[in-house]
Amino acid sequence: MSENKPKRLESAKAVSAALRQYYEDIWAGHPLAWSVVSSNPLNDICRMLGIRVAYPENYACVCAAQHFSEKYCTIAEANNYKPELCSYIRNNFGYLLAQDNDHPLGGIPKPDLLMVVSNACLNYLKWFDALRLFFDKPYVVLNTPHRMFDYEVPDYYIRYVAREIEECIGQLEKISGNKVTDQKLKETAHLSREQGKYWRELLDLNKAVPAPMNLSDLANLIFVPSSLSGTQHGVDLLKLATAEIKERIKKREGAIQDERHRLVMFNIPPWYRLGFVNYFAQRGCVFPFGDYNRYLWYTQDFEDTDPIEYFAKKGLSFGLDGGCGSTIAETLYGCIGDRLARDIKEFKIDGAVVAINKSCKIMSTGALDVANLIHERFHLPVVLIDVDQADERTYAEGQVQQRLEAFFEMLENK
């Protein structure tokens, strides 16, 4: 087996530094909001009001990556948080209930308020309602209804969410003691839109052969649109990464030295085993894209002339090529057709890894159907692996490697 480790992006150092600085900054003052990392426009708006924002979902990924998930999930389950719950939730409550101060990156401070949006994961509302009961803090909910039809979302959806945002702004102004200005709204909406443009450009650049980025690069970069939305720093980081990727393409420099196979990854990667891409790289396999990073984050561009309307559309922004207001499930499985066929062709994909994720029922529902479709319609080798995004206890190294060995053999014989 050849030595063929992925070559890390230089810009990843700046992203890692921004991540560390972010976790330092959230301790620097109050008020502090806990929020979801979905396309929640309230995150952008909070920064205008001097409200810092922390993301327990992102922090659960950090906990898993630094191998704290066994500790936290065990503590949560000992306090009657069921193993069937999302491991992000169990990591979060395990962290809160831990009786020591040994936490990754120093932990996250207790919140002064909680914010949630209804446009994404079905767990969000119940999770944050449980946090409301735990902390007894103000709870700001942005209701973003899902569309129930195939065509573009009607204007009354946009008007409804715009009014919801204005009402939430009033609550946040009262909590912070500050006021949102029209100028700040325009600036922040524009920065949020610019981030989206750079993110989509980055993903499209990975169509190049050899692929300039691997799955681990994309997993690192996703911190920017998920946690630094609406900031100049976020725009600058993505701009830096884009420039580096373009330079790699110009030099025909790939993420791995000897690219022989290009794979697509379905589902959330196991954050505690991102190094598993090295195992693929040693077999000449690279991941130019996955459904998690391509079909969920900043999928569409919206005009930002009217910032409230822009934020309303952002709050409804799950969906592709035909409006917004989709559920995650509709977005993901709506792509398993012409959109996926186009991406498989343009990214030159010749194999697929489909993860069945114990924690994320939405992203794992229909995984076997996806695997069958890829094999039967696109005639590509497929491997199914059982993982959990943030509970390391569930990962069976031997079983996964055994399945991958059989998959590599199929790839070579294709």
Provide the pLDDT confidence category of residue 326 given band limits of 50, 70 and 90.
Answer: very low
pLDDT for 4: 64
Structure-model confidence comparison of residues 264 and 329, the more confident one: 264
pLDDT reported for residue 301: 81
Query: Cα–chain-centroid distance for residue 225?
Result: 8
User: What is the per-residue pLDDT across 341-391, written as a single tens digit (0 to 9) for each?
Assistant: 899 999 999 999 998 888 887 777 778 888 888 889 999 999 999 999 999
Q: In the prediction, which pLDDT does 152 show?
A: 67
Tokens describing residue 304: 């930002």
d(C-alpha 102, C-alpha 98), whole Å: 9
Burial 290-316 (b: 16+ CB within 10 A, else e): bbbbbbbbbbbebebebbbbbbbbbbb
Count Cβ atoms below 10 Å from residue 192 Cβ, excluding itself: 26
pLDDT score of 268? 86
Predicted pLDDT of residue 324: 46
| pLDDT (average), residues 192-205 | 93
Distance between CA 17 and CA 403 in Å, rounded? Answer: 36
Exposure b/e, 4-34, CB count within 10 A at least 16 = b: bebbebebbebbeebbeebbeebeeeebbbb
Average pLDDT over residues 262-271: 90
| 42 neighbors 35 (Cβ within 8 angstroms) | yes
| Mean pLDDT confidence for 69-82 | 96
Position of tokens 């946690």? Answer: 227
Percent of the chain with pLDDT over 70: 91
Question: Given pLDDT bands bounded at 50, 70 and 90, which one contains residue 325?
Answer: very low
As beta bridge partners, residue 142 has: 117
Region 154-162 average pLDDT: 89
> Which among 305, 302, 304 has a CA at the least distance from the CA of 316?
302
Q: pLDDT per residue over 301-317, tens digit each?
A: 888 999 999 999 888 86
Report strand pairing: 113-117 vs 32-34. parallel
